[in-house]
Chains A and B, each alone.
Chain A
């Protein structure tokens, strides 16, 4: 297959080379290029790290490119890796954890193994697991998607509850609380997007399960946490506590404008919430509710990404050293990005730092970072597998029926068969 591409490609390449209008400057040694998405969160965090490293290593320049969205980066990576062409690929790239296995397994050899150079036990194990294939790890974990239930403390109070009422509850209890909140304050509880299975996955992971069994086979029909999650999800809609939204802008708009009372989500939402400075003191963070079943805990994860080094990089040594030095050991750095971006890092020792112990005015003076650190260590580790996107799509196809009270078992069957079909 590859032979055919290169042979024909070369012939045509020769034809094209004669009409070369501009030439590509080769990356100079000692220049590390990094692809990230989102300038404010990921971009700034990486730039901060880069500044720290280049201060000590003036011969190295680190170029952070944040001019592409996450989908863009995925599309580019995938196209180039498939084309077998590594021209212009970066040295370091940010990849979200739940799709990491897809890259590792689809393109063996494309990423540089890091577990032999960096001690992975320094990081939260569930993050390392996401990037580990056949015993080798390929990433330096970045932000943890440890989840919390962010809520408007003023609405909660007006409904007659206190922060303690939200501690270690089940989702079913949350439905009850939400109903009272709606009665007393008129505010809906949550905003949910039918095109996004984030909350469902959060629920499932809190019980330590995922869509797949250890051997990679589908775990849908007998997946009790998934079934419970779907039932709970439907309960919110049936109790009329949900504002239906579509897309990121509407989703964030609903809680930043104060329309809905709570949002169960990964800690990386902090920056978005804090962007509304006038709401300082009106928010609180509670542990994520758990499923009403054995094995479910009040801790889960949503999102989170890690840094990968591409095997095609010309600056592997420097890249790995950079990641190891700053991301793999600089506790002060992690304090900085916590304060500046609200990024909860996955370096376990970072939790001992000063910033993590601070209380946050915005969240009513609560020691939120301590809390997140604690929950971080409780997150059940799951294997995301390579077919998460397929199963997500299958679940999304059934959601409208489920939330209208459809039969969950039938839905699970449908999800199972669609997933099987897609997994060929």
Chain B
């Protein structure tokens, strides 16, 4: 009894430390958004009164509505398409095995390791030829067949009980129906995790949008914030305010979806 309580206590303590370390920079960010740039540079770690001032500066200097809209559209469209295409593929690779397709999968994993910088120039050439430079399409298209997500869904599908599929087939369901009506509901928490990851990666995507987006009104918040930070005299208060704003969407999505983990699959498989 004492051992379990002690262990419990230890768990709480360690988790609290981990939580504090994890949250502290985020807290610092929020505190910074309420201070002036000078105060931040001097290392102030308490709340200040410059929030309104920072907000005003931010909204005057940045066309926030437009920029956040850009980031939002790109992230949402990319997430939906990525989940659709990549989960289909991950399921496909795992459910229907063949020697050839295994080899293809292995090849894909290899491709995952190629640094993006190596592919940037030819990709740009392609989009330039297609007259798609400076469009959202150019930002989204190369990302939606994500080997990473395909890999993830494949691994997650290994935990998908084959009896379910067998049972569904006996019931006469076609493959695509099995995917939509049996697999999808069962793998909800996997989709939830993937949504968070994909949304976040698209929202924070830097190098490719940097190269392919040309005009100020098409840029994403990530690009804008990066440029603001590289000014000769950066206004850190304003920048941190913008950063807090930029972090909100992903945070919201995480909050909404993390309940899915809770409602998870506790015995609901039966």
Contacts and interface: CB of A to CB of B under 8 A. Distances in A.
Indicate yes or no for A touching B, C-beta below 8 A.
Answer: yes
A65 B219 CA distance: 11
B128 interface: yes
Interface string A347-380: 0000000000000000000000000000000000
Interface in A243-295: 248-249, 252-253, 256-257, 268-269, 271-272, 275-276
A23 B135 contact: yes
A248 to B, nearest CB: 8
Contacts of A21: 135-137
A271 B232 contact: yes
A414 interface: no
B210 A20 contact: no
A24 B134 CA distance: 7
B234 interface: yes
Interface string B228-263: 111111101000000000000000000000000000
A325 to B, nearest CB: 25
A38 B230 contact: yes
A19 B223 contact: no
Contacts of A88: 133-134, 214-215
A76 to B, nearest CB: 6
B127 A67 contact: no
Contact of B128 (A65, A66, A83): A83
Given A39-B61, A252-B41, A13 B130 contact: yes
Interface string A177-215: 000000000000000000000000000000000000000
Interface string B87-125: 000000000000000000000000000000000111011
B231 A40 contact: yes
A24 B215 CA distance: 10
B174 interface: no
B126 interface: yes
Contact of B42 (A37, A68, A257): A257
Contact of B229 (A5, A17, A69, A83): A69
Contacts of B121: 79, 82-83
Contacts of B193: none
B125 A249 contact: no
A16 to B, nearest CB: 3
B125 A24 contact: no
Contacts of B270: none
B132 A20 contact: yes
Contacts of A271: 232-233
Contacts of B38: 256, 275-276
B133 A66 contact: no
A287 B228 CA distance: 32
A12 interface: yes
A96 interface: no
Interface string A1-26: 00001100110111111011111100
A67 B227 contact: yes
A71 B230 CA distance: 9
B4 interface: no
Contacts of B207: 75
Nearest to A274: B233
Contacts of B126: 9, 12-13, 16
A115 interface: no
Nearest to A268: B232
A72 interface: yes
B211 A22 contact: no
Nearest 10 pairs between A and B by C-beta? A13-B129, A69-B230, A16-B130, A88-B214, A85-B128, A21-B137, A22-B135, A253-B41, A13-B130, A87-B133
Interface of A: 5-6, 9-10, 12-17, 19-24, 37-41, 65-72, 75-76, 79-80, 82-85, 87-89, 248-249, 252-253, 256-257, 268-269, 271-272, 275-276
19 contacts: A5-B125, A12-B129, A13-B129, A24-B133, A24-B135, A39-B228, A39-B231, A67-B219, A67-B223, A68-B227, A69-B226, A70-B230, A75-B211, A76-B210, A79-B124, A83-B125, A83-B128, A85-B125, A87-B133
Given A9-B125, A20-B131, 19 more contacts: A6-B125, A6-B129, A12-B126, A12-B129, A13-B129, A13-B130, A16-B130, A22-B135, A24-B131, A24-B132, A24-B135, A65-B215, A68-B223, A69-B229, A75-B210, A75-B211, A80-B124, A82-B121, A88-B215
